[in-house]
Amino acid sequence: MHVTPAVVVALVGAALVAAPAQAPQAPSPTPATHARTTPAAVVAALSTAATDQSLKGRTIVIDPGHQLGNSRFPRKINRLVDAGGLRKACNTTGTATASGYAEATFTWRVAVALRKQLRAKGATVVMTRDRNSRRLWGPCVDIRGKLGNKGYRGRERAADLKLSIHGDGAARSGRGFHVIVTGRRGAVVRSARLGREVRAALDERGFRRSTYTAGGRGFVRRTDLGTLNLSRIPTAMVELGNMRNPRDARTMRSAAGQRRYARALTTAVEAYLR
């Protein structure tokens, strides 16, 4: 059971009420230097002891897919860049729900919730973009892929892993999540293990595997994605649901659903790094 300050106060209060009455006793002398233990001090001590720093010293890269302003900069996002042995567009506009809720906004909000949870556990978090704005575009997939690699932008040590967060735009009849890892050599084995942890954590949180791809396995290997091809650290991309499906869209739009996705991804990070 997770012990919160409120729970401690409640338990202490209940214990005091339930305690049998005792005959008054003369107070014993207390040295002036002796610090009195107050309920607030007890709560503070227990809260500090219960702090989870399981990810202290770890560096996690979070890639919230796309950018809200991509559609306003077609020349920039359509420019071809290296995607790891092939040339692809710098970025795309992403998809949206039938009502127009953008994938870029969904991925950003899940990423922010995930960042908060990881930082609370002591991790250092690096984001591939730091805002969600109609006035911005990118970054390109080559930057997203390389961020976190040892030596890239002067990084002395490689990040521990990378999660690339997306929402799919398939036919409205299909629903569910699927995880994508690289099919190329290099970090394949480690990335596949990370991908399986992501799948298991989403399963555990009650999310449904994709009904329209991967044959119900919820797991795909691809060699055409720059974000995966250019990464030299364990990396998993996840399509958290189909934004065109009404049921998935309701979950993806809601703050509760976004936090639930983030909790699943946090569990996956902890399981992989354990």
Q: What are 88's strand-pairing partners?
A: 81
Instruction: Answer for the pair 151, 194: CB distance below 8 angstroms, yes or no.
Output: no
Beta pairing, strands 59-64 & 124-127: parallel
Distant-in-sequence, close-in-space partners of 145: CB < 8 Å, separation ≥ 6: 83, 84, 226, 227, 228, 229, 230, 231
Q: Which of 236, 256, 245 is closest to 211 using CA atoms?
A: 245
Q: Catalytic residue numbers? A: 239
Residues 6+ positions from 37 with CB-CB distance below 8 Å:
none
With 0-12 CB in 10 A as exposed, 13-18 as middle and 19+ as buried, what is 266?
buried
Angle at 69 between CA 202 and CA 172, to 5 degrees: 45
**Residue 82, H or E segment:** strand 80-82
Is the CB of residue 242 less than 8 Å from the CB of residue 96? no
